Amino acid sequence: MLISLKEALDYAEQNKVGIAAINTPTYEMLLAAVRTAEQHNIPLILQHAEVHEPINTIEDIGPVMVELAKRSTAPLVVHVDHGESYDYVKRGFDVGFNSAMIDASRLPYDDNLALTQKVVALANEYGYGVEAELGVMPGREDGSQASTGTSNETLYTDPDLAQSFVRDSGVTALACSFGTVHGLYKAEPNLNYNLISTLREKTGVPIVMHGGSGLTDSEYRECIKRGVAKINYYTYADKASFEAVQNYLAEKPETFIFSDLTTIATKAVQQNLNNLVGILYGKS
Ligand SMILES: [Zn+2]
């Protein structure tokens, strides 16, 4: 069934869990994410990032995401991830997405705020939630431009700016920069837990973690404890499916059945997400 971003985040804070927000640009990722949510009967966010348009457009994969979410026994949100323009968010809403992130974090503060306000006004017409971003995280959602993870690449989110940004925009949740990076970690992430606590307190809204792949169990738990309620996750699940296919091909180089590979990929993502869900929701 479809639930709102606000309902998912309320669940997270009431139950002291982190909601997994999984990018599902392929059908294999999508199926694995939905099955994981159903298996554990947990709320989960299915999302499509604008940077994944070359894999599948939001008009192609979006209606499939919405349909699977509606008929699922699990409570699911269908969310535009890293929408870079008002028009892209609108395209998501047009195919049935019920939540969106507008990412104007690379623009100057005033421009970021103005675009976010415009998107919130649109979302309010539907009663949908909006996530925005303040502070710049290195790397990109598709795992390209991987980062070294050193703190000097990161512009940490300023708590006072975050406070006025949330107040003046009316967003449901705020993606902040506190030491995570998009893509694969090449060095240890340098997480600033006190900053998360301060941001949660000052903004009054749940904090979103981007670059949620590859942290340790205790790092995830501590971030959730401090105020992170939504955790974006993609790169390591994608990597798990790739490695499963690679291993299969090494064992059976003579295979010519492509659907065997998609089945293996789906199962590998499910296994990877099961592990994630164990950490974020305390399920196993
Ligand atoms: Zn992100």
User: d(Cα 108, Cα 126) in Å, to the nearest integer?
Assistant: 28
Ligand 1 centroid–CA 85 distance in Å is 15
182 labeled part of a ligand binding site: yes
103 labeled part of a ligand binding site: yes
Taking alpha carbons only, the member of 135, 131, 73 closest to residue 109 is 135
Tell me the C-alpha to C-alpha distance, in Å, between residue 239 and each of 22, 99, 161: 14, 26, 36
Ligand 1 centroid–CA 182 distance in Å is 6
User: d(Cα 232, Cα 51) in Å, to the nearest integer?
Assistant: 14
**Could you give the percent of the chain with pLDDT greater than 70?**
91
Ligand 1 centroid–CA 133 distance in Å is 9
Beta bridge partners of 44: 76
82 labeled part of a ligand binding site: yes
Residue 182 backbone dihedrals phi, psi, to 5 degrees: -75, 150
Neighbours of 67 (CB within 10 A): 12
> According to the model, what pLDDT value does residue 151 have?
42
DSSP symbols for 106-147: TS-HHHHHHHHHHHHHHHHHHT-EEEEEESB-SS-TTS-S-B
Beta bridge partners of 134: 176
Tally of CA atoms within 13 A in the half-sphere of 147 that contains its CB: 25
Taking alpha carbons only, the member of 144, 131, 65, 137 closest to residue 97 is 65
8 A C-beta contact, residue 66 and residue 95: yes
Please write the tens of the pLDDT for every residue from 39-93: 999 999 999 999 999 999 999 999 999 999 999 999 999 999 999 999 999 999 9
Please write the tens of the pLDDT for every residue from 189-198: 789 999 999 9
> According to the model, what pLDDT value does residue 235 have?
92
Tell me the three state secondary structure of residue 229: strand
Q: Say which amino acid occupies 237.
A: A
Domain ranges of the chain: 5-235
Ligand 1 centroid–CA 102 distance in Å is 11
40 labeled part of a ligand binding site: no
| Active-site residue set | 81
Please write the tens of the pLDDT for every residue from 121-180: 999 999 999 999 998 766 655 555 444 444 445 579 999 999 999 999 999 999 999 998
Taking alpha carbons only, the member of 196, 244, 188 closest to residue 214 is 188
Please write the tens of the pLDDT for every residue from 202-248: 999 999 999 877 799 999 999 999 999 999 999 999 999 999 999 99
Tell me the three state secondary structure of residue 200: helix
Structure tokens at 274: 């099961």
Q: What is the CATH number of domain 5-235?
A: 3.20.20.70
